[in-house]
A = this chain, B = another copy of it.
Amino acid sequence: MEPAPALRADARHNRVRILEAAREAYATRGLDVPMAAIARRAGVGVATLYRRFPSRESLITEVFGDELATCASVVDEALADPDPWRGFCSMIETVCAMQVADRGFTEAFLTAFPDAIDYERTRVRAEQGLAEVVRRAKAAGRLRADFDPADLTLLLKANCGVATGTNEVAAAGSRRLVAYLLQSFRAQHAEPLPPVPPLTLDLLHGAATAR
């Protein structure tokens, strides 16, 4: 999977610089930063950037790959928590805080990853972990029975909407939204029932791609 043509030392160095610059830029200014800006920030020429990452997409994919890994680790933490409900909640809070802190991350979630084949594995693992977190929380009787794993995607997308705008306000808004939603998710509060067909992750994903 890695026939890595063995980059020269300076090339490897620059590659890292580019990734760092891209991550910073995406985090602060969102996903559609000019390639030239990233190159400048990284202290390299545009050509270097394009040689290393043939398309804008491949760069985004690469950067986002790391973030996705972080996500996966958050899921693992949730599973490690002895209290299933606390794990569930703090997982959600953490990811939402990440979304607010990093605008690019947010957009990447919306825009979906068209060719994220490399991450498919990570993604699947994350999804399985997620399903397990949900299952545990339900089994503990704390999470309402009609909660669907896809509701997490829903929450994430909702949080994206709140995450626009800047820092503190977005952060406060996000925390409040999450607090509200977590209350709805609790088993004790399970009202009649939300009369809505749960969405599958695939559908949401497909829609984002098809846009």
Contacts and interface: CB of A to CB of B under 8 A. Distances in A.
Nearest to A193: B179
The secondary-structure label for the interface of chain A is helix
Contact of A177 (B154, B206, B211): B154
Interface string A44-85: 000000000000000000000000000000000000000000
A186 to B, nearest CB: 8
Q: How many copies does the complex hold?
A: 2
Interface of A: 110, 151, 154, 157-166, 169-170, 172-173, 175-177, 179-181, 183-186, 189, 191, 194-199, 203-204, 206-208, 210-211
Given A161-B160, A162-B161, A191-B183, A154 B169 contact: no
Given A165-B211, A204-B165, A199 B179 contact: no
Contact of A189 (B159, B164, B169, B189): B189
Contacts of A173: 154, 157, 199, 204
User: A160, A177, A179, A210 — which one has the most chain B CB atoms within 10 A of its CB?
Assistant: A177
